[in-house]
Amino acid sequence: MSYEYILTETRENVGLITLNRPDALNALSDGLMDEVGQALTSFEQDDAIGAVVITGSEKAFAAGADIKGMKDRSYMDMYLGNFIGRNWEQVTRCRKPVIAAVAGYALGGGCELAMMCDFILAADNARFGQPEIKLGIIPGAGGTQRLTRFVGKSKAMEMCLTGRMMDAQEAERAGLVSRIIPSADLLEEAVKTAGEIAAMSRPSVFMAKTAVNKAYETTLAEGVAAERIMFQSLFATEDQKEGMSAFSEKRTADFKNR
């Protein structure tokens, strides 16, 4: 399938989505986000793919929702058209792990898109921010909620109220990104990491993702109970037998996703 605003490819067991509106610093237009949703759905349906990487360019992961496309919209355009709600959430519904490989600007919706992914690998030149306040609006794709959960109230509040950007080092210290990687190596490292995940037993990958996400949606007791049920249920898989046998026999496990 060919797209207008993104590029897609597969690298062995990894699906790669590259945001591709270089003239607009990958501003996230409706059309672009529709295509991201379609690409994710198609990787989701492809059994050969075990994880997905979303990336942008060296200058910008994405500089936010498309300001020029939003400028003249009315409240009813936004509300009845279910702006953001109608296509962005597909990222959070993907069962396969999605890694954001962020270089350059991840601002507004760009920061929010990265935070919808399962984790963020940041290039050393990455800059994160929620500058919507400077446009007379607020974040609309979860920025006030997810950023606060990642970095705490004080930093999230300051960023949402002033539009100040965080560099990669600050983002790593604050827990927004899992690791910083030299810019030139970012994509290769992200694809390698996604490939390692894709080679794990898929049911355990799905359950690990579900269980970690529970920590954001439930009480501690409910989350631990859900984790316990999933942990115990994985003993019904052939891959658990294979994984533990391989350890005992000092060889690499060959998971069959069964």
Q: Is 132 a catalytic residue?
A: yes
Q: If binding is defined by CB under 6 A, does position 140 make contact with ligand CAA?
A: yes
Among residues 14, 19, 27, 187, the one that binds ligand CAA under rule CB under 6 A: 27
d(CA 109, CA 62): 7
- Given the residues 37, 132, 168, 198, select the one marked as catalytic: 132
Q: If binding is defined by CB under 6 A, does position 166 make contact with ligand CAA?
A: no
Task: Name residue 158's amino acid.
Answer: E
Among left, alpha and beta (phi > 0; psi -120 to 50; other), residue 252 is: beta
d(CA 239, CA 245): 10
Smallest gap from residue 225 Cβ to ligand CAA (A):
35
Smallest gap from residue 97 Cβ to ligand CAA (A):
23
For the chain, how many residues are written? 258
- Given the residues 51, 65, 101, 253, select the one marked as catalytic: 65
- State whether residue 256 is helix, strand or coil: coil
Q: If binding is defined by CB under 6 A, does position 139 make contact with ligand CAA?
A: yes
User: Which 63-102 positions form the footprint of ligand CAA (CB under 6 A)?
Assistant: 63-68, 84
Q: Is 112 a catalytic residue?
A: yes
Report CA dihedral (23, 107, 174, 161) to the nearest 10 degrees: 150
Among residues 16, 19, 25, 120, the one that binds ligand CAA under rule CB under 6 A: 25
Decide: 37 and 90 in contact? Cβ < 8 Å: yes
Pairing of β 105-107 and β 6-11: unpaired
Residue carrying the six token digits 């496990």 = 253
Q: Is 184 a catalytic residue?
A: no
Q: If binding is defined by CB under 6 A, does position 61 make contact with ligand CAA?
A: no
Q: Is 123 a catalytic residue?
A: no
Q: What angle do CA 234, 240, 242 make, to 5 degrees?
A: 160
Name the one range near ligand CAA by CB under 6 A: 36-44, 106-114, 148-156, 226-234: 106-114
Instruction: Give the binding site for ligand CAA (CB under 6 A).
Output: 24-25, 27, 63-68, 84, 105, 107-109, 112, 131-132, 135, 139-141, 143
Residues serving a catalytic function are 65, 109, 112, 132
